Structures are given as C-alpha cells and as structure tokens.
Structure 1
Amino acid sequence: MLAYLTLILNVVLVALNSAVCSLIICIIAVFKIVLPTALLKAKATEMANKTMWLWASINAVILAMFNRVEWDIEGGEELKKHGWYLLISNHLSWTDIVVLCCVFKDRIPMPKFFLKQQLMYVPFIGMACWALDMPFMRRYSREYLIRHPERRGKDLETTRRSCEKFKYSPTTVVNYVEGTRFTPEKQRKSKAGYDYLLQPKTGGIAYTLAAMGDQFENIIDVTLAYPENTHKPFRDMLMGRMTKVVVRINVLPVDQQVRGDYFKDKPFKRQFQQWLGNVWQEKDELLKEIYHKQS
C-alpha cells in the first residue's frame, strides 16, 4: 500500500513540476517570437534552458526523496558546461530521460532530445519541448514509404532544420540510436546479435553529424543500466523502489571515422555503419559485465 501511495504522490509531484516549468518555458517562447534582435532571442533561449535545468534539478530532488539510489557513474570528467556535444545512449525506459538530465545537467549544456511526433500533443510537455527547439520526428514504416515515396528523407530535413537552431548556443543533442525502448521481445525479433541492445540505426546520427559535425567537440557515448530494477524501472522509480543506477560515459572524438557524406558516399556509409556497430558491440559487452556483476 505504501508503494502505491508513493507512486501517486510522485506522479502528482512530477506532473506539477513538469506543468509549471513547461508553462514558464512556453511564456518565454511567446516573448522570444516577438523579440527584435538575435541577441535578445539568444537570451530568451538561455532562460528557457535554465528553466529546463530547474525542472531536472527538482526531479532529482523528488527522486532522492523517495528512492535510496546508489549512483554508479564513471567517466566524462573532461566534459564542460559550454560546449557542443552529440550524446548517444541505449534506451531502456522513460527513466533514461530523468537520469540523463540528473547526471549531465551540471556537466554539459541541457540535453535536447529527438522526440516522436506524438509527444507534441502531450499537454504542457509537448509545447515546452517545441519551445526548447527539440526536434519532433515522424517515423514512417518501410511499407508506408513504398506507397508514399515523396515522404523519403522528411526526417532528415527535420534534423537539418533543428540542428540549424543549435548553432548559436552551446547544445547537447541526444540521439537514442536504437529508435525505440529496449524490451526482450523487441530484442528477440531484431535478431541483431546483441544480448542487451537493439540494432542501432545509423541514418539519424549520421545526418546530425553532417549538419553540425564542425561544431561538435565530442561524441558522448552513454551506457545506462538499472541492474536491480530491470523489469519496469520507471514504475519502480515512481514507487520508491529504484535502488541502483549505473552510468558509464565514454567520450569519443569527432574524427574521420564519423565525418563524411553518409548518403552519397557508399564506402563511407559502410565504414560509418561498422564504426557504430563496434561501439554497440562494446556497449553490449559492458552491459553484460554490469549485469553479471550484479547477479
């Protein structure tokens, strides 16, 4: 009974925090539209980012109030607050967004997530994410694209337009390259050869690098694990049952392995796919080590 009361209280507190901070960001966005100069618009963007930082900080307090979490974080000591980064991570649950914001809110610029189009219509949250210039992506199935070939490349156009907005202030662009949350069922269907991961999708990250590669200082490769809450970590967090969060941070260079014309240069495309496959294979081995150490 206590766990379910904690769940209700946490949902109310997180929803209230999200609603208030989202409303503040939306008000800032309205003023930003009418501001006359680029400098003033940049100041408005900075205020919106600080409000997102406040949202993440309050979430961290709520998390600490109701969960006795052991944080196991390694790596990333060289990161800085004023820089441009591309952050890639495995994706397990909605908990990942809270964890990434808690871990990185004082280390690097506030993360900007690639979001599914459906989240645009979530009250408060969708408007705030739009105001923060987060890119909303509409995923098309292979069958849909066969019927509507004119839709090919639309996500990539959205990526380019969004990345243009990130050029004027320090930014962390987050890309969950698997494209969806990990589940054992999805893992079995993917037949990707990984034990704890899904097949990474190279197109989105390649286009982000093509659009902003000159500005990104590093790629931040993050591995997340909840070794004592593997089944439903988000529910466990809200019920006060989250006990351990493992975060491994590997800072990679933006070098010739990831710079090139992914869509026209076939040798580079194969090289890039091999590079990301190697990163994902190392991540899978790391997750195996984390989970076996826990068992």
Structure 2
Amino acid sequence: MDFLPAPLRGVIASLLLALNTIVCCTPLFVVAIFKLCLLFPAAQRLTDWLMSHIHEAWISNNKAWMKLVRNTRWHLSGLEGLDYQHSYLITSNHQSWVDIMVLQYVLNRRIRPLKFFLKQELIWVPVIGLAWWALGFPFMKRYSKAYLAKHPEKKGKDLETTQRTCDKFRNNPVGIFNFVEGTRFTESKHAEQNSPFRHLLKPKAGGIAFVLDAMGDQLEAIVNVTIHYPDGRPGYWDLLCGNVREVVAHFEEIKIPAQFIGSNYDQDGEYRLEFQQWINRLWEDKDLLLDRLHQEYPQKR
C-alpha cells in the first residue's frame, strides 16, 4: 500500500489490528471457558495447545498487515541456534512500543509466543485479564518492602507463589520476556539518570533476576536482543502508517551462569551485587554493539 497516503495506511492498519484481535479473541475466550470447566490433564493440555496456536495466529496476522503497509527491510543476525522446543528468557533494549511488535514479528514460531510476568492483581482486569490468563501469562505476587517490614513471616512467599505459577511450564517450552531498562529510552530519561551508556538507560537487574529465581532451571538460555532503527525511534503510529522502513536486530543466546540459578535476589546481598555487575557488563557490550550498528546503519533522520 505504498501508493496510499501514510495516514490512510495508518487507519487501515488500525482497523486490521482491531479486526484481528476480535477474530482471535473470540475462539480464545471459548477455549478459555472449556479450560475453566474441564480440569482433567488431557483437557488442560488440549486447551493450552489451542490457545498457544491462537496466540501465534494473532501474531502472524499482525505480520501480514505490517507487510501490507510497508515492505520493511530487516537486517537480522544471531537467530540460527533458537529452538521451538526450548524455553528462553528474552530481553532487549527498549526504545519504543514498536519493539514488542518487532520481537513478535521475528520470533513468532521460532520460539514459543512471548509472555510477560504480570502482577497478580491484573488478572481481574476485565476482558484482558482473562486473555492473559488464557494465554498462560505468569502472574506474580510481590510484597513491598514496607509490607515485609510489618509482616516478616511473608519473606520469600512471593517467590514461592511465582514458582508454583511457573511449574506449569516445567514440561512446556515458554518464552518469557522482560525489558531490563524498565522503560523506553528518551533523551530526557537518559540525562535524568546520568546514564553511563551512550544509547541505553541503566539496567534494572531486579526484574530479570526475579524470573531466574522463579524458573531459572527451566530456561535454556537468555536471548539478549539489540534493536536499532536507522530511521530514528518510531512511534506506534509510525508502524501503523508504514513509516518503519528499516529494522536492525541482533540476537545473542547467552547461557545462564550456574551461580544465578536457585538463588534469591531479594535476600542474598552478595548474589545481588554479583548479578548487578553481570547485567552491567552485558549492557556495556550492548552499548558498544549499538555504536557499531549506528555506524553501519546510520540514522537517516
């Protein structure tokens, strides 16, 4: 649809996205009802399989309208070793909400559909909470430091709850996703943090450590993704309008160090410091890689 004006492409893509969501959520919720009612193992396996494929179909349909509005040039590397039958923890630098669509576009059916850890309270959000639950998104229970100060007997209970939630992945491959920076990169946030990195915000090790604490022994590796947009950081409307002309993404599979499996980030100060230093080294390498990508694929605006 390159011949159409960008705003019209954006409207068409928005309608296609909405239609795709309605079409895929309808069978998803029907299957979810069966999942709620039929609790025996064979039915649970069947409903999980159906919902996973509905999730992948939703992503595939999104890929179709993305190709329709713009034939984006993709520069991809490091995907060779990924296996659909393995579980991974995926992380990436975060510049835009487009990052999520990029990751889904590239990783769909290479590994299992990406899932995010969500606060337990979000399961009660109308409609979307049911969708997250149906798709198997893991819900975690976290206690604040203030609450733990008043109720020390609850220490470690949040991790136990999350580990029980993750037990369902023990024999089912999964792709767990976490943005280590915690928020999107902007120049103002970069300056406010006084970030030591040129292209990145400071990493927040707690989120990824919590995933490893809960299910580290189930994960094949960490997939460390570095994304660069030669046209500049796009907004979601840019994606809908077909203004994302080029995407560079490098994927690096990193084995999880043995000392980071089976530890407790919140309660082990020595482990916490070692883990933070390890994440910082990964971010230093990512910053150097982004330097090279900016030179190889210079920004055009």
Same fold (TM over 0.5): yes
Name 2:76's counterpart in structure 1. 73
Name 2:131's counterpart in structure 1. 128
Name 1:113's counterpart in structure 2. 116
Write out aligned runs for 1:1-295 (5 A): 2-115=5-118, 124-135=127-138, 146=146, 159-230=162-233, 232-259=234-261, 260-293=263-296, 294-295=298-299
| Aligned-partner Cα distance in 2 for 1:9–1:153 | 49
Q: Cα deviation per residue 1:193-245 (whole Å; 9 max; x = unaligned)?
A: 11221121112211211221111111111111222132x33221111111011
With over 3 angstroms needed to count, the CA separation of the structure-2 counterparts of 1:172 and 1:67, relative to structure 1, is same
Deviation at 1:30, TM superposition (A): 1.1
- Worse-superposed segment, 148-157 or 93-102: 148-157
With over 3 angstroms needed to count, the CA separation of the structure-2 counterparts of 1:172 and 1:136, relative to structure 1, is same
Report if the CA contact (8 A) 1:160-1:207 is conserved.
no
| Aligned-partner Cα distance in 1 for 2:5–2:158 | 44
Deviation at 1:173, TM superposition (A): 0.6
TM-score by length of 1: 0.88
Q: Which structure's CA Rg is the greater one? A: 2
Report if the CA contact (8 A) 1:22-1:125 is conserved.
no
| Aligned-partner Cα distance in 2 for 1:96–1:117 | 25
With over 3 angstroms needed to count, the CA separation of the structure-2 counterparts of 1:184 and 1:115, relative to structure 1, is farther
Give 1:93's aligned amino acid.
S
Percent sequence identity over matched residues?
Answer: 38
Give 1:237's aligned amino acid.
L
With over 3 angstroms needed to count, the CA separation of the structure-2 counterparts of 1:36 and 1:276, relative to structure 1, is same
With over 3 angstroms needed to count, the CA separation of the structure-2 counterparts of 1:119 and 1:5, relative to structure 1, is farther
SS of residue paired to 2:191: helix
Deviation at 1:158, TM superposition (A): 6.3
Deviation at 1:53, TM superposition (A): 0.4
- Worse-superposed segment, 103-112 or 178-187: 178-187
With over 3 angstroms needed to count, the CA separation of the structure-2 counterparts of 1:150 and 1:195, relative to structure 1, is farther
Deviation at 1:76, TM superposition (A): 2.4
Give 1:192's aligned amino acid.
S
Report if the CA contact (8 A) 1:19-1:124 is conserved.
no
SS of residue paired to 1:134: coil
SS of residue paired to 2:237: helix
| Aligned-partner Cα distance in 1 for 2:232–2:158 | 34
Deviation at 1:112, TM superposition (A): 0.8
SS of residue paired to 1:88: strand
Deviation at 1:122, TM superposition (A): 7.3
With over 3 angstroms needed to count, the CA separation of the structure-2 counterparts of 1:134 and 1:274, relative to structure 1, is same
Q: Cα deviation per residue 1:160-214 (whole Å; 9 max; x = unaligned)?
A: 3542332231111111121122222212112221122112111221121122111
Report if the CA contact (8 A) 1:159-1:204 is conserved.
no
Aligned length: 291
Deviation at 1:278, TM superposition (A): 0.6
Report if the CA contact (8 A) 1:217-1:253 is conserved.
yes
- Worse-superposed segment, 113-122 or 263-272: 113-122
Report if the CA contact (8 A) 2:159-2:214 is conserved.
no
TM-score by length of 2: 0.86
- Cα RMSD for the two superposed structures: 2.7
